[in-house]
Amino acid sequence: MEQKEKIICGIQQVGIGVTDVSESWRWYNKLLGFDLKVFDDEGVAELMLPYTGGKPQPRRAILALNPMGGGGLEIWQPKGREIRYPDDEVRLGDYGICVCKLKTNNIEKAYETAQKNGIKLLSTITNSPFGQKHFFIKDKDNNVFEFESTDFVFIKAGMPSGGVNGVTIGVSDMDKSIEFYKNLLDYDIVVGDYTGIFDDMGEVCGANNKMRRVLLRRSKTIGPLCEVLGDSQIELIQNFDIEPRKIFANRYWGDIGYIHVCFDIRNMDMLKKKAEEMGHPFVCDSGDKFDMGEANGHFSYVEDPDGTLIEFVETHKIPIIKKLGISINLNDRDNTKPLPRFITQAFRFMRVSSDKI
């Protein structure tokens, strides 16, 4: 019998807490191109009790993808309680996810589009120390996004902005964090490792501080949805000029900000074993059957060395044309091979115009 192994297919989505899920999705849909709706689900978060005050919390969540490819956004609005912002502005190097990275195959056009639509720009187009053109924006809830130049395009959709390209995470011990992301999540390539004060981050809070920046990528991209998600990168930042704060200190998971980064995976049991061996056991585990609207699968969470939440989802079924009951079943397939293009390109049938939200 073939030995199973953990498979990290790519970043499925970044969870983002917002004040109004419909308004935010309209903004991400119209201005950033996230117009594929995988699910829109209202319910109760019953399994995240360590992060929701010890009791289940009502919420509404929309998972939106960008047809150009890359990870999606899980747009999350708590219901029936006061939503809390961070006490102070999130700084580069605070513990947690500081920035969500987006793909663009035309960075000049993406920048022009942001200017034309009145999006809050935090920088001009500059070169990162890793040799990549990029610029930064803010959404209406002060969440920071970074556009990064890439050649990756899954479906040409007429927008210069694509899906999630990665995240920037604040850490306390760089070498310890590198080992975590390398050994559990297979980010085994160190693209660059630089220490200093950098001038490419514009007005992003904390940009003027001395910091160590490390960019990680993966040497392989495999799995059923790998051609949709594409490659990704994780930037780790250790800020030496501040006393870092936990971004979600004294707040609940689901409040304003980036609540998790989620990886599409196969063979959850092997991943669980590896996480336990590394001293990062699952802190939440849905078990094998969990429904989220029309989609279902198995999800779990671990914490990185600084408590940043990392989600894993082993998807069983993805709805494609809900009205016709057409969906993709990912079970009983070769976990190492991408789905045929004629199947994954059917995602375009999930597109929703912003004027219909």
Exposed / middle / buried, residue 346 (Cβ in 10 Å: 0-12, 13-18, 19+): middle
**pLDDT tens across 125-177, in order?**
999 999 999 999 999 999 999 999 999 999 888 889 999 999 999 999 999 99
Q: Looking at residue 11, what is its pLDDT?
A: 97
Q: Which of 232-241, 248-257, 324-333 has the lowest mean pLDDT?
A: 324-333
Q: Looking at residue 353, what is its pLDDT?
A: 80
Pairwise CA distance, residues 18 & 99, whole Å: 15
**pLDDT tens across 191-204, in order?**
999 999 999 999 99
pLDDT at 240 over 70: yes
**Average pLDDT value for the chain:** 92
From residue 134, give the alpha-carbon distance in Å to each of 123, 242, 268, 293: 9, 25, 34, 35
Identify the band that residue 348 occupies on the pLDDT scale cut at 50, 70 and 90: confident
Tokens of 145: 């996004």
* Residues above pLDDT 90, as percent of the chain: 77
Q: Which of 232-236, 249-253, 293-297, 338-342 has the lowest mean pLDDT?
A: 293-297
pLDDT at 1 over 50: no
Q: Looking at residue 115, what is its pLDDT?
A: 97
Domains of the chain, residue spans: 7-356
Q: Which 3 state secondary structure label does DSSP give 356?
A: helix
pLDDT at 295 over 60: no
Pairwise CA distance, residues 168 & 237, whole Å: 7
Query: Higher confidence at residue 115 or residue 46?
Result: 115
DSSP states of 282-307: -SEE--S-EEETTEEEEEEEEE-TT-
Amino acid occupying residue 351: R
- Calculate mean pLDDT across residues 113-122: 97
Which position has the token pair 């250790």? Answer: 238
**pLDDT tens across 306-344, in order?**
999 999 999 877 766 565 555 677 777 788 888 888 777
State how beta strands 96-104 and 144-149 pair.
parallel
Q: Which CATH class is domain 7-356?
A: alpha beta
> pTM score, two decimals?
0.94
**pLDDT tens across 262-294, in order?**
999 999 999 999 999 999 999 999 987 665 555
Task: Please list the residues that pair with 136 across neighbouring strands.
Answer: 146
**pLDDT tens across 57-84, in order?**
999 999 999 999 999 999 999 999 999 9
Task: Please list the residues that pair with 91 across neighbouring strands.
Answer: none
Q: CA dihedral defined by 157, 326, 224, 269, rounded to 10 degrees?
A: 140
**pLDDT tens across 164-180, in order?**
999 999 999 999 999 99
